[in-house]
Structure 1
Amino acid sequence: MSAQPVNPNLPPDHVTVFIDGVELAAPKGAMIIQVADKAGIPIPRFCYHEKLPIAANCRMCLVDTEIGGRPAPKPSPACATPVMDGMRVFTRNEKALKAQRNVMEFLLINHPLDCPICDQGGECELQDLSLGYGRSVSRFVERKRVVPDEDLGPLVATEMTRCIQCTRCVRFTAEIAGTYELGGMQRGENLQIGTYDGQPLMTELSGNVIDVCPVGALTNKVYRFKARPWELIARPSLGYHDALGSNLFHHVRRGELLRSVPRDNEAVNECWLSDRDRYAHEGLYAEDRATVPLIRDGDGFREASWDEALARVADILKAHAGDALGVLVHPATSNEEGALLARLAEGLGSGNLDHRIGQLDLSDGAHADAFGMPVAEIEHADAIVIVGSNIRHEVPLLHQRIRKAVKRGAKVHVVNPVDFDFTFAITGKHIVPPSRIAATLAQLEIGEAARSAVIVGAVAENGPYAAAIRKAAAEFAAAKNAKLCRIPQGANALGLSRQGVLPRGLDAQAMLRAPRQAYLLYGIEPGLDFADQPAALKALGAARVVALSHFACASTRAVAEVILPIGLLPEIDATLTNLDGLEQQAVAAARLPGQARPGWKVLRALGGLLALKGFEFTDLDGLRAEMTARPVHVAGNGAAPAAEATAAHGLELAVSPAIYRVDAVIRRATALQLHPLNAGPHATLNPADASALGLMEGAMARFATAAGSATLPVKVDARVAQGCVWIESGHGATAPLLASARLEVAAV
């Protein structure tokens, strides 16, 4: 072969390759299959996946190659053969097709003939390719092998007899999730894929093994046997349980949402989906879903018509307009609904409007802001500082991006009250009580880094020292020339901030500490969604409350006078703004339950009844045409969140969101509630503190604050900073403690 390039006009890092007679320019080192895919030339494959390391173990992608006029002695795997200048590749000649058909025959030797009952039927890669490359009659007459199934937990179902050992699932858990939970056991014909210890999958991204599996070996346990793919309609939507806004499709049959699958978007979630977004749809069909308007009648409720219920709500709001009214909004509410809520509050003369219901310290007037470094660029960062966040549970796919950065050589530093589990190496680890996070951050050294990011999460943002930590993070980022990335506390907290769902009067905490005469609750579960639960229930219990709600739960019924049923995101057309500041639209997928209506329609009707300006539009397009982002400025209230914050007695409290208890929908998703990561309410202490208090693992202890107390089982773990108690929010049992900075602990 000549040393001269075939095409001297190409850049020096490119070569010329001919695939099925088509001349292509390709980067040096690229694999044949990558070049062919880019050119739209099909090559069959099972083990190859563009996001996974190359394994080259299925051999389905065998092709014929020729270099310098000399044919290769045997077919080459296209996924593991780099292109060379002047190389000729034949994907469809007799030699290549014979090799591919022989591989297919071997793959089908032990595969069961259960396509009619296989839940993967209709979307199975093996089924599709066997049509083109398989024989009509098998020459194999011996008995097929059988592989016992494993119980991988409540999310992923197994039929391992179907497994063709492509190892996609193994490579996913190892390289993407970083948990190394699946592997190959035994050898040769006896090779099996499994967990070895028989334990359920613990990664928060486990559902992705369903997507990468090319056969029916790993399937969706929640969706299994409910429908065939040709019965489903795919509707583009968004994840709404963290601020990333993962792109996904909801698959619907006759209005019922049966499953959710990822929708590719390299800038947001790539091709992955967290389990929280994948299985949340179960929560839509909870028994306490609000389906009809309800009006309080004595100690209970009676069903009412929309006209009667709206009239009652309008009367309440008119009677308590101005400063007597407080409007509290869930931070996952859409931009359209948020814009109308801002107009409603303004029209009623109330500046008491806020969506920051889960944040204790609003003394600095902080609100959500877009990431200084886009999520897609974080994987290219040189240094990353994580402040006050269990980021693996808070935003699972942001954690995965950081893992990719570490694999590229990034250094990660952590300042946390708990040594949370990450799937990457930590360069600098500082485990300190919440009160010392700001001071520790001010003294942190990260060395020289061209591209660095500071990521501030929920433990910091929602705690009693949030303002000090935010200030320290901003100063640190400015001093180190780093990009500040504060995770918005709610799926659409950034969008709601831009739409003006922020106070011009009292903020969320102030309007609960100084109770209003009436409240409008939007999308909130009062018993679990507030940062200061005792104060919230006390204030709401003494006021007239109207609730536009997705669920008619016990806590809503306890405080509301009127409950208006509204649709959740999978049931409505809506726009959310993710943590990068990217506005993304979701399309209505599932049918609204009963008499429930899209929230924007309910607000439009309410604004019309009250004769307010800004409610003259007739459809969603009309509303969107009128929407503009408002200047965001919120004055801090200057008040410390808790008088006991500086007290020296007791242990400090560190609170992180429980991964599968973050909102009302997730809390009602049955499969997620059965997952081992949903550990239930408990309190975790450092061994030194537990010993000093005479507490042992599994003991029951009473945790008391000025606002309330709770009796919880104790766990002892050296990962918790000494002088701290770590609990998770989202549980009724821990709710009385969340607003406190410190608490007293005593054995029961």
Structure 2
Amino acid sequence: RRKSISPHDGLGSNLVVQVKNDRVMRVVPLENEAVNECWLSDKDRFSYEGLNSPERLTRPMIRRGGALVETDWQTALEQVVAGLGRIRDQHGGASIGTLASPHATLEELYLAQKLTRGLDSDNIDFRLRQSDFTADRRRRGGSGGWPWLGMSIAEFAALDRVLIVGSFLRKDHPLLAQRLRQSIKKGAQVSVLHSAGESLLFTLANQRTVAPAMLPGALAEIVAAAATEGTALHPALADVDPGDIAKSIAASLRSGEGKGIFLGNFAQQHPQATQLHALAQALGELTGAKIGFLTESANSVGGYLARALPVDGGLNAQAMLGAAERAPCKAFILLHAEPELDGADPAAARAALAAAEFVVALSPFRPPAADDIDVALPISPFTETAGTFVNCEGRAQRFNSVALALGETRPAWKVLRVLGSMLDLPGFAYEDIEAVRRELVPAADIAARLSNATDVAIERPRSSVSGLERVTDVPIYFADPLVRRARSLQQTKDARPPAARASAATLSRLGLADGAAARLRQGNGEAVLKVSLDDGVPDGCVRVAAAHMSTRMLGPMFGPIAVEPA
């Protein structure tokens, strides 16, 4: 029985991992009232099965004769050093990009950015599903200003008025949803503004569902409704006419004492995420509510603290995975990332990796896009390494390995350390993980680096939308590489192959019936899916899940989509 921390959503649930013969056999909650209380989501409880998946990568692999073949560590590392060195010499360091998963440890993210910058590149990002990066240089707070929950988890649980914007809350953040459920029993009012109507298993004070393109406009209505007589409203919102639901949500927020406005995963992934942020801030100022982010992954806060993002003009994740004809990156370093399943645009990810001259994947698993990988290095999952996750409230939680490494797997921080040394980069002579940790932001200083303030100017929201729009969720058991390989979780309802879900009115206009087959197209990609009637989807929209092999041929998570009978 060994203690650990969940590597999945932003809560950072505390775990007891039960191990026999160095094989994880069971995971149960470790009680921590400040974080997960005595609870554990099924994702945290059963994802350990992925650790024993037949897809585990246990030996290094290199491309030889057009196929990946097993080799020894020295040969694989030498090939990585030669490949990255060749790209840097021929195209410059700025042609190298690193895509890191927000499920990587703080130490891994820190060394990944140090390695990337040592190669004269600022192209590194962990925000793989984000599509709006315009706020990167406009957050208040100098070297900090990184988004977070905006309060402690205990404060979140004590709120009596809450607005959730753009979140599949019960699936994305199951234990935060549980906290709200308990608050509602004590009289709290929770309102939801989203692009999909789903049961949250508790009674909502207000709920409005709109097409993704209309989400900023719907939030702007609430801002306008919250402006009392004599309050100056932003000029861009002068013509906004709030509807009854907007007025009801604004009244709810004005009436409370402990108030919070939270942007979920969907809002953060939205193409107008910065506008949603700016509008939420304006609403908070009008109602006295704090604003926060329901952070997507175990290290969505830690990635900022590790500086695993461009800070000096480098390319963000979207820019690195640009159109193949532009091919901004000639080489990629992938850290725990499977871009065609973990990215905002799987079609662009596939094209970028295919166009690259050299790709190295550091992963516990055999890469799904094996044809594009030149070297695959087996690194430890969270149970086989020491590390740190920084949760949504900015709490740094360290953990140690609970089992011996499988096969020839090595901790990623050690692999990155060796690569840095072999590339003759300065500052990689670490003797142990504590030496790495001494270079990280001290836990006591994290709070000072966090801020949800923004100075992005509010823009006039759209008043209408034309054409069919895609609504995209990332199902709970597709969300990261470990859960995608957990056998029990993959047998649940939430892991069924995605369907094309739409309202009766939308299906009627498309000439489709519930249960029929439909052909979906985005750009040059297409998929054939079963149609499912879902009146929780806004009219003029089709809901299609991401992060699944059956939808990886499609394009961006947001935007237009064409649907026709198959």
Q: TM-score, normalised on structure 1?
A: 0.65
Contact 1:357 1:531 survives alignment (8 Å):
yes
1:509 and 2:318 are equivalent in the alignment:
yes
Is this contact kept in 1: 2:523–2:555, CA < 8 A? Answer: no
Measure, in 1, the Cα distance between the counterparts of 2:65 and 2:297.
Answer: 35
Amino acid at match of 1:335: L
One-letter amino acid of the counterpart of residue 363, structure 2: S
SS at match of 1:474: helix
1:592 deviates by 1.3
Q: What residue in structure 1 maps to residue 16 of structure 2?
A: 249
Counterpart Cα distance in 2 of 1:661 and 1:688 = 29
- Identity %, equivalent residues: 36
Partner secondary structure for residue 340 of structure 2: coil
Check 1:368–1:559 CA distance in 2 against 1; reply closer, same or farther (3 A cut). Answer: farther
**Which residue matches 2:177?**
399
Partner residue of 1:207?
none
CA distance in 1, matches of 2:66, 2:82: 21
Contact 1:707 1:740 in 2 (8 A): no
Shift of 1:300: 0.8
Amino acid in structure 1 at the alignment position of 2:562: E
Q: Which stretch has the larger CA shift, 325-334 or 585-594?
A: 585-594
What secondary structure sits across from 2:45 in the alignment? helix
SS of residue in 1 equivalent to 2:307? coil
Query: Does the CA contact (< 8 Å) of 2:309 and 2:316 recur in 1?
Result: yes
1:511 to 1:549, Cα distance in 2 relative to 1, 3 A:
same
Q: Measured at CA, do residues 368 and 717 of structure 1 come closer, stay the same or move farther in structure 2, by a change above 3 Å?
A: farther
1:666-685 to 2 correspondence within 5 Å? 666-685=483-502
In 1, Cα distance between the equivalents of 2:419 and 2:273?
36
Structure 1 residue 553: Cα displacement: 3.0
8 Å CA contact retained: 2:146, 2:450: no
What amino acid maps onto 1:336 in structure 2?
A: E
Check conservation: 2:348, 2:555, Cα contact below 8 A: no
Shift of 1:437: 1.3
Partner of 2:387: 574
Q: Could you list the runs of 5+ residues in structure 1 that have no partner in the other structure?
A: 1-233, 639-644
**Deviation at residue 647 of structure 1 after TM alignment:** 10
Measured after TM superposition, the shift of residue 368 of structure 1 is 5.4
Counterpart of 2:459? none
Report whether the alignment pairs 1:552 with 2:366: yes
| Whole-angstrom distance in 1 between the partners of 2:533 and 2:70 | 49
User: After superposition, what is the alpha-carbon deviation per residue over 1:387-429, rounded to whole angstroms, capped at 9, x for unaligned?
Assistant: 1111000010000001111111111111011111111111111
**Residues 272-311 of structure 1 deviation map (CA, whole Å, 9 limit, x = unaligned):** 0000000000001111211111110022122221111111
Q: Please state whether the residue corresponding to 2:75 is helix, strand or coil.
A: helix
The 5 A counterparts of 1:232-311 are: 234-311=1-78
Give the C-alpha shift of residue 632 in structure 1: 8.5
426-435 or 439-448: which moved more? Answer: 439-448
1:380–1:408 Cα contact (<8 Å) kept: no
| 2:474 partner amino acid | P
Match of 1:194 in 2: none
Separation (CA, whole Å) in 2 of partners of 1:738 and 1:255: 41
- 1:741 and 2:566 equivalent? no
Write the letter of the residue equivalent to 1:457: G
The corresponding residue for 2:332 is 519
Confirm or deny: 8 A CA contact 2:514 2:531 kept in the other structure: yes
Output the CA distance in 2 between the equivalents of 1:703 and 1:566: 36
Structure 2 runs not aligned, ≥5 long? 140-144, 223-249, 457-461
What letter is aligned with 2:77? L
- 5 Å-filtered alignment, 1:106-145, equals none
Distance 1:459 1:334 in 2: 23
Deviation per CA, 1:697-747: give whole Å up to 9, x if none: 101111222242221111112111111111222212223143441112111
1:338 matched residue in structure 2: 109
Number of the residue aligned with 1:191 = none
- Whether the 8 Å contact between 1:438 and 1:473 is mirrored in structure 2 is no
Give the letter for the 1:310 counterpart: L
Greater relative CO (CA pairs within 8 A, separation 6+): 2
Q: Structure 1 residue 589: deviation in Å?
A: 0.9
Q: Distance in 1 between matches of 2:206 and 2:368?
A: 45
* Secondary structure of 1:320's aligned partner: helix
Structure 2 distance, partners of 1:368, 1:488, is 11
The verdict on how the C-alpha distance between 1:261 and 1:535 changes in structure 2, with shifts beyond 3 A counting, is same
CA distance in 2, matches of 1:478, 1:559: 49
CA distance 1:395–1:632, shift in 2 (3 Å): closer
Counterpart contact for 2:168–2:264, Cα < 8 Å: yes
Deviation at 1:468, TM superposition (A): 2.1
In structure 2, the partner of 1:55 is none
Whether contact under 8 Å (2:67, 2:371) holds in the other structure is no
Partner of 1:29: none
Aligned match for 1:383, one of 161, 171, 177: 161
What is the SS of the residue equivalent to 2:537? coil
Matched, 1:701 2:518: yes
Deviation (angstroms), 1:570: 1.3
Q: Aligned partner of 2:556: which letter?
A: L
Alignment of 1:440-589 (within 5 A): 440-444=218-222, 445=250, 446=252, 447-503=254-310, 504=312, 505-513=314-322, 514-515=326-327, 516-543=329-356, 544-555=358-369, 557-589=370-402
In 1, the alpha carbon distance for the partners of 2:320 and 2:193 equals: 32
| Pair 1:368–1:254, CA change in 2 (3 A) | farther
- Secondary structure at 1:340's aligned position in 2? helix
- Cα distance between partner residues in 2 of 1:424 and 1:436: 25
CA deviations 1:294-346 (Å, max 9, x no partner) are 11002212222111111111112222231010111011110111111111112
Query: 1:464-512: per-residue Cα shift (whole Å, max 9, x none)?
Result: 2322222222222222221112122322011011111011311010111
Larger Rg: 1
Query: 2:132 aligned with 1:361, yes or no?
Result: yes
| Whole-angstrom distance in 2 between the partners of 1:707 and 1:382 | 47
Pairwise CA RMSD: 2.1
**For 1:704, what is the secondary structure of its paired residue?**
strand
Q: 1:512 corresponds to which letter in structure 2?
A: L
* In structure 2, distance between residues paired with 1:550 and 1:480: 47
For 1:177-202, what per-residue CA distance to the aligned partner results, in whole angstroms no more than 9, with x for missing partners?
A: xxxxxxxxxxxxxxxxxxxxxxxxxx
State how many pairs are aligned: 506
1:658 aligns with 2:475: yes
Q: Quote the offset at 1:679 in angstroms.
A: 2.9
Deviation readout 1:42-62 (Å, 9 max, x if unpaired): xxxxxxxxxxxxxxxxxxxxx
